[in-house]
Structure 1
Amino acid sequence: MTSTLYVISSAAPPARRVQTGIRAAQARGWDVCLILTPSAHRWATEDAVGELDALRTLTGHAVRHLYKLPSGEDVLPDAHALLAAPVTLNTLTKWADGHADTLALGLLTEGIGLGLPIVALPYINAAQAKHPALPRAVAALREAGVRVLLDDDHDEGFVPHPPKRGRVEEYPWDLALDALPPA
Structure 2
Amino acid sequence: MTEASHQTKKPFLYVVVCASGIAGDVHKLITSAQEQDWDIGVIATPQGLGFIDAKAIEAQTGYPIRSAWRSPGDPRPLPPPDAIAVAPATFNTINKWAAGISDTLAVGILCEAYGLGIPTAALPYLNTAQAAHPAYDQSLDRLRGMGVLFGSYEPHRPKAGGGAEHFRWEEALELLTPKVLGRA
Secondary structure of 2:177's match? coil
Question: Equivalents in 1 of 2:34, 2:60: separation in Å?
Answer: 10
Check the 8 A contact 1:12/1:40 in 2, yes or no: yes
CA drift at 1:24: 0.8
- Residue aligning to 2:22: 14
Distance in 2 (CA, whole Å) between partners of 1:86 and 1:56 is 18
* Aligned twin of 1:153: none
Give 2:39's aligned residue: 31
Deviations 1:70-110 (A, max 9, x none): 22110111100000110001000000011111010011000
Q: Which residue of 1 aligns with 2:125?
A: 123
State the partner residue of 1:76.
Answer: 78
TM-score by length of 1: 0.89
Name the CA distance, whole Å, in 2 between partners of 1:158 and 1:164. 17
Q: Which residue of 2 aligns with 1:86?
A: 88
Which amino acid letter does the alignment assign opposite residue 78 of structure 2? Answer: L
Q: In 1, Cα distance between the equivalents of 2:170 and 2:56? A: 22
Q: Which amino acid is the alignment partner of residue 173 of structure 2?
A: L
Distance 2:120 2:51 in 1: 25
Which position in structure 1 is the counterpart of 2:171? 175
Following TM superposition, by how much is the alpha carbon of 1:175 offset from its aligned partner in structure 2, in angstroms? 1.7
Q: Which residue of 1 aligns with 2:158?
A: 163
In structure 2, the residue matched to 1:152 is none
Post-superposition offset of 1:32: 0.7
The Cα RMSD (Å) is 1.1
- Check the 8 A contact 2:131/2:155 in 1, yes or no: yes
Question: Corresponding residue for 1:98?
Answer: 100
Q: Please identify, of 96-105 and 170-179, the stretch whose mean Cα deviation from structure 2 is larger.
A: 170-179
What secondary structure is seen at the aligned counterpart in 1 of 2:76?
coil
Give TM-score scaled by structure 2 length: 0.89
Q: What runs of 5+ residues in structure 2 fail to find an aligned partner?
A: 1-8
Q: Residue 67 of structure 2 contacts residue 106 of structure 2 at CA under 8 Å; is this kept in 1?
A: yes
Q: CA deviation at 1:18?
A: 0.6
Letter in 2 for 1:163: P
User: How far apart are the structure 2 equivalents of 1:41 and 1:99?
Assistant: 20
Aligned AA for 2:64?
A
Identity fraction in percent = 40
Q: Is the 8 A contact 1:141 1:148 kept in 2?
A: no
**Contact 2:20/2:51, CA 8 A, preserved across alignment:** no
Gaps of 5+ in 1: 45-50, 150-156
